[in-house]
Chains A and B, each alone.
Chain A
Amino acid sequence: MMTRESLLNWAMIAALLIVPLAAWSLDEPFIITLATKAAILALAGVGLNIALGLGGLISLGHAAFFGIGGYAMGILAAHAQNYEPLFNWPFLFEGSNQMPLIWLVAVVLSALAALVIGALSLRTSGVYFIMITLAFGQMLYYFAISWSAYGGEDGLSIWVRNEFPGLNTLDPIQFFAIAYVILCLALFFAARLAASPFGLALAAARQNEDRVEAVGLTPFKLRLAAFVISGAITGLAGALFADLNRFVSPTMLSWHTSGEIMIFVILGGVGRLYGPVAGAALYILLEHLLGGISDYWQIFLGVLLLLIVLFARGGLIGAIAGREKAHG
């Protein structure tokens, strides 16, 4: 039986496919690019939602993983385009413009960063956790600004979008297809995760830590694993985002970015599997529509966020589909 929420989820994921297809047939590449951006930002939100929604970990440092993914792409591609080896030992490596390899590096590096940041910050909780994740994010931000080898404050530009075997990534609709498929895979993975033994224990640790300990499970380990998975997915989104813009800069690492990713999740509905899709799509839509009216469009976004936090805790999805039914 389809619940209202799963109907809504299917409708959203279908709309995210239909809109760019329609734009493609009408030859409106700009709309396709907007949809691609929405899919990539939704992916970043899906990552954060595993930590935030499932694990209850309010990370204000996810820009770190988003940015690491972005820089992984930027650095690999910059070396490849300039024919400068990234390193000579233990083997010669000249960077890469192949997306699969770039994604792998982005995922591994952001997972490692999440492991280190998580291992340190998960020893705290509540407002201290928020502050420590924020501090780690800002450390990386200032590091990137001062890292002149890779553009410092100006960032890194890539002339040609990276390649994917068998596809022409310069064609907007083909690049959209890549982002869309990855988003769908991530949603599928997140759904399985939420229903898995690990997901059950992780979400229980958010609800009642004493209970989880009393049945012999360690909340810290559960949360660290969730933080690593979460960071890895957000890192992958960062690599795609940089490829979309063919540009990476310290902005991707700044706390504004962390806040934006969190806004996608909250707009859509914290802990709702498809919340980030709804949130990112709405964000892009507002940016596009209201941004045309005023440079200060985020004032309206702020008002909307305020309304959602005050009156619709389940976000957009909660407002439409009602209270979440218990898992399983």
Chain B
Amino acid sequence: MAEVVLRTENLCKSFGALKASSDVSLDLRAGEIHALIGPNGAGKSTLIKQIAGNFRPDSGRVELLGRDVTALDTVARARMGLGRTFQISALAMEYTVLQNAVLGALGGQGRVFRFFRNVMKDPALLAVARDALERVGLADAADRRTADLSHGQRRQLEVAVALTLKPKLFLMDEPMAGLGADGSHRLTGFLDGLRQEAPILLVEHDMDAVFALADRISVLVYGQIIATGTAAEIRANAEVRRAYLGEEDAA
């Protein structure tokens, strides 16, 4: 079996009486795309935040590359190789597209306390940044202000910035959200190839993309994982159909 890159063990997190995560255990293995699906309010965002380091779980642990990182913050986890994209684009809006990518490259390189050199003339950082933009198809937009980008382009830039980190795994929170059929199709093709580079934990609402891409799918309902399996197994799972897929069919 492939190496486990990320593992959560019995994560529990409550907000008052609401159990947002209860005993969530899942893993992500080298070379795979593991999709996490679930209806709104199932606790996907809470889970993501515990994996990324924004929230500390009430109990349970998070393991990254074989190391217990439960006590580490977002920055430390990013440095270990967790490349994250956000559900709502988190970019420096005043910057150009290229500057955002260079920021990522700078973070990946880690030598930020330099006060005199012009960062936008650093060949090593520029090479990493331009390469990432090229790969997501944003090379032509490099000099545009990020605030002027379309929603879809911002989603692409989110992925590009994550690429500049050369991460060991990706944590992608609804990268397809609002992309439209065309963009979503293109990104699906891209992520398909990306899993060879680093495995992806993919939270996604776009069921076509999920079933096309995922090696494994976990279904989260009311903070609990009710099933994990291949696309075929999930489709066939009666509990999942009742709790989730069925709802969508009815709607």
Which chain A residues in 188-218 approach chain B with CB under 8 Å? 192-193, 195-201, 203-204, 207-208, 210-218
Q: Name which residue of chain B comes closest to A217, CB basis.
A: B107
Q: Are A200 and B99 in contact (CB under 8 A)?
A: yes
Q: Are A198 and B115 in contact (CB under 8 A)?
A: yes
Complex interface: chain B residues within 8 A of A328 (CB): 96, 98-99, 118-120
Which chain A residues in 131-171 approach chain B with CB under 8 Å? none
Q: Name which residue of chain B comes closest to A192, CB basis.
A: B116
Q: Are A196 and B118 in contact (CB under 8 A)?
A: yes
Within 8 Å of chain B (Cβ to Cβ): is A327?
yes
Q: Are A200 and B103 in contact (CB under 8 A)?
A: yes
Q: Are B113 and A225 in contact (CB under 8 A)?
A: yes
The smallest beta-carbon distance between A55 and chain B, in angstroms, is: 13
Within 8 Å of chain A (Cβ to Cβ): is B233?
no
Known contacts A207-B92, A207-B93, A207-B94; is A197 also within 8 Å of B106 by CB?
A: yes
In the complex, number of A-B residue pairs with CB atoms less than 8 Å apart: 114
Complex interface: chain B residues within 8 A of A196 (CB): 114-119
Size class of B's contact patch? 35 or more
Docked complex Cα distance between A172 and B196 (Å): 70
Q: Are B104 and A197 in contact (CB under 8 A)?
A: no
Complex interface: chain A residues within 8 A of B86 (CB): 210, 214
Known contacts A204-B103, A326-B99; is A197 also within 8 Å of B90 by CB?
A: no
The smallest beta-carbon distance between A58 and chain B, in angstroms, is: 17
For A195, give its contact among B92, B118, B162 (CB under 8 Å): B118
Among B112, B118, B120, the one with the most A-chain Cβ atoms within 10 Å of its Cβ is B112
The smallest beta-carbon distance between B21 and chain A, in angstroms, is: 20
Within 8 Å of chain B (Cβ to Cβ): is A301?
no
Complex interface: chain A residues within 8 A of B95 (CB): 203-204, 207, 326-327
The smallest beta-carbon distance between A180 and chain B, in angstroms, is: 23
Q: Are B108 and A197 in contact (CB under 8 A)?
A: no
Docked complex Cα distance between A227 and B99 (Å): 23
Q: Are A215 and B107 in contact (CB under 8 A)?
A: yes
Within 8 Å of chain A (Cβ to Cβ): is B47?
no
Q: Are A208 and B91 in contact (CB under 8 A)?
A: yes
Docked complex Cα distance between A3 and B155 (Å): 32
Docked complex Cα distance between A324 and B116 (Å): 21
Docked complex Cα distance between A217 and B165 (Å): 12
Docked complex Cα distance between A215 and B75 (Å): 7
Within 8 Å of chain A (Cβ to Cβ): is B36?
no
Contact with B along A256-271 (1 / 0, CB 8 A): 0000000000000000
Docked complex Cα distance between A327 and B92 (Å): 12
Within 8 Å of chain B (Cβ to Cβ): is A222?
yes
Within 8 Å of chain A (Cβ to Cβ): is B84?
yes
Complex interface: chain A residues within 8 A of B205 (CB): none
Q: Name which residue of chain B comes closest to A325, CB basis.
A: B145
Docked complex Cα distance between A326 and B102 (Å): 14
Q: Are B116 and A201 in contact (CB under 8 A)?
A: no
Complex interface: chain B residues within 8 A of A211 (CB): 90-92, 100, 103, 161
Docked complex Cα distance between A200 and B105 (Å): 12
Q: Name which residue of chain B comes closest to A209, CB basis.
A: B90
Docked complex Cα distance between A74 and B125 (Å): 47
Contact with A along B55-83 (1 / 0, CB 8 A): 00000000000000000011100110000
Q: Are A195 and B91 in contact (CB under 8 A)?
A: no
Complex interface: chain B residues within 8 A of A218 (CB): 75
Within 8 Å of chain A (Cβ to Cβ): is B122?
yes
- A residues neighboring B (CB under 8 Å): 192-193, 195-201, 203-204, 207-208, 210-218, 222, 225, 324, 326-328
- B residues neighboring A (CB under 8 Å): 52, 73-75, 78-79, 84, 86, 90-96, 98-100, 102-104, 106-108, 110-120, 122, 125, 145, 161-162, 164-165
CB<8 Å pairs between A and B, sample of 14:
A192-B115, A192-B118, A193-B115, A197-B111, A197-B117, A204-B92, A204-B95, A204-B103, A208-B92, A210-B86, A214-B86, A215-B103, A216-B78, A328-B120
Given A197-B125, A203-B92, A225-B113, list of 20 further CB < 8 A pairs? A192-B118, A197-B113, A197-B119, A198-B113, A199-B115, A200-B103, A200-B119, A204-B95, A211-B92, A213-B78, A214-B74, A214-B84, A215-B103, A216-B75, A216-B79, A216-B107, A216-B165, A326-B94, A327-B120, A328-B119
The 10 A-B pairs of least Cβ separation, nearest first, read A215-B107, A328-B120, A216-B78, A207-B92, A216-B79, A210-B90, A197-B119, A204-B92, A216-B107, A211-B90
